[in-house]
Copies of this chain bind each other. A is one copy, B any other.
Amino acid sequence: MEKLLDALKALSDETRLRILNLLFEKELCVCDIMETLQISQAKASRHLIYLKNADLVKDRKHAQWVYYSLAIDERIKFIDSLVYDNLRNLELYQNDLQNLKDWLKRKTVNCD
């Protein structure tokens, strides 16, 4: 499975780790990710597509939105450990989760 190396390459960038960390919480659309991480739309989109090409996430289109969610199969074990045992000990990724919560709350108030 050549895909293992692709997965590892996808994991070797901080922005993509931050995105994965968020997607371990729930399915999100591109704009949730740009808002939460405070990155440009192009950057969010590009990294999501990179993760998709590595088979780590899948997408689902609904109206004008594209929702991304995890698509981790037998590689789940080590990536799970990476996320829960390593990433989530780090302040950056903890803050990102808090920012996600805040954003989703604001978003609901504003839009629904």
Residues on A lying within 8 angstroms of B by beta carbon are: 1, 4-5, 8-9, 11-12, 14, 17, 74-75, 77-79, 81-82, 85-87, 89-90
What number of copies of this chain does the assembly contain? 2
Contacts of A79 in B (CB 8 A): 78
Contacts of A89 in B (CB 8 A): 1
Q: Give which listed residue, B4, B17, B77, contacts A5 with CB less than 8 A.
A: B17
Chain B minimum-CB-distance residue to A90: B1
Q: Give which listed residue, B4, B12, B74, contacts A8 with CB less than 8 A.
A: B12
Q: How many Å lie between the Cα of A85 and that of B4 in the bound state?
A: 11
B75 and A86 within 8 A (CB)? yes
Contacts of A90 in B (CB 8 A): 1, 4
